[in-house]
C-alpha cells in the first residue's frame, strides 16, 4: 500500500484510541504491520484523535525478542492472563472478529509495551490486552494527510 508520508520519529505519533482493523506478520523479514483505516495521531495536525488519514505502523521485530500477546479474562474475583499466539491475534483481526484498540505505550530497553483493548461483537465484547513488541528503534509510521474539511 502506498501512503503520502513516512516517518521513523516515534515521538511524533500516538496510537492512543486508534483501532487496527487489519494486520500482518512476515516471519522471513520480521515485519509486523497494523493498519488503521481511521488514522492515527500525529503531532503535525490538529488535536483530534485520530487526526491523519488512513495509516499503518510497521514494527521490525528483533528475532531474539519476538512478539508476545497476553489477554486478560475475568474469572470471578480475579483476572486470568493467558498468552495468545500472534498468528491467532492477526487471524481474528483480519477476519473482522476483533479490532485492536491501542491505549498506552511504554518504552523499554529494547521493546515496546502497548496496553490495548480487543473489541469483538459477541460477549464479553472486550478483553484487556498487552502487546510486547521486541523492537525499539525500528518502527515506521506511514499515513495519508487528513481529509480537508470546509
The answer to whether 117 and 103 have CB atoms below 8 angstroms apart is yes
Using 50, 70 and 90 to split pLDDT, how confident is the model at 149?
low
**All cell numbers assigned to 39:** 488514522
pTM of the model: 0.92
Q: Which residues of 16-51 are buried (b: 16+ CB within 10 A; e: fewer)?
A: bebbbebbeeeeeebebbbbbeebbbbeeeeeeebb
User: What's the CA angle centered on 104, arms 103 and 110, to 5 degrees?
Assistant: 135
Give the mean pLDDT of 2-13. Answer: 94
**All cell numbers assigned to 63:** 528475532
Domain ranges in the chain are 9-143
Query: Could you read off the pLDDT of 27-37 as tens digits, one per residue?
Result: 899 999 999 99
Amino acid at each position: 500500500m502506498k501512503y503520502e508520508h513516512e516517518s521513523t520519529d516515534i515521538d511524533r505519533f500516538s496510537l492512543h484510541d486508534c483501532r487496527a482493523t487489519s494486520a500482518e506478520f512476515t516471519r522471513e523479514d520480521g515485519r509486523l504491520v497494523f493498519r488503521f483505516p481511521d488514522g492515527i495521531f500525529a503531532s503535525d495536525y490538529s488535536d483530534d484523535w485520530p487526526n491523519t488519514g488512513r495509516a499503518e505502523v510497521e514494527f521490525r521485530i528483533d528475532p531474539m525478542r519476538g512478539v508476545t500477546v497476553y489477554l486478560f479474562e475475568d474469572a470471578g474475583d480475579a483476572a486470568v492472563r493467558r498468552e495468545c499466539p500472534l498468528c491467532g491475534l492477526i487471524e481474528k483481526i483480519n477476519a473482522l472478529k476483533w479490532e485492536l484498540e491501542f491505549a498506552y505505550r511504554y518504552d523499554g530497553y529494547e521493546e515496546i509495551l502497548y496496553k490495548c483493548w480487543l473489541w469483538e461483537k459477541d460477549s464479553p465484547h472486550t478483553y484487556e490486552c498487552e502487546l510486547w513488541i521486541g523492537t525499539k528503534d525500528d518502527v515506521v509510521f506511514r499515513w495519508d494527510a487528513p481529509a480537508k474539511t470546509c
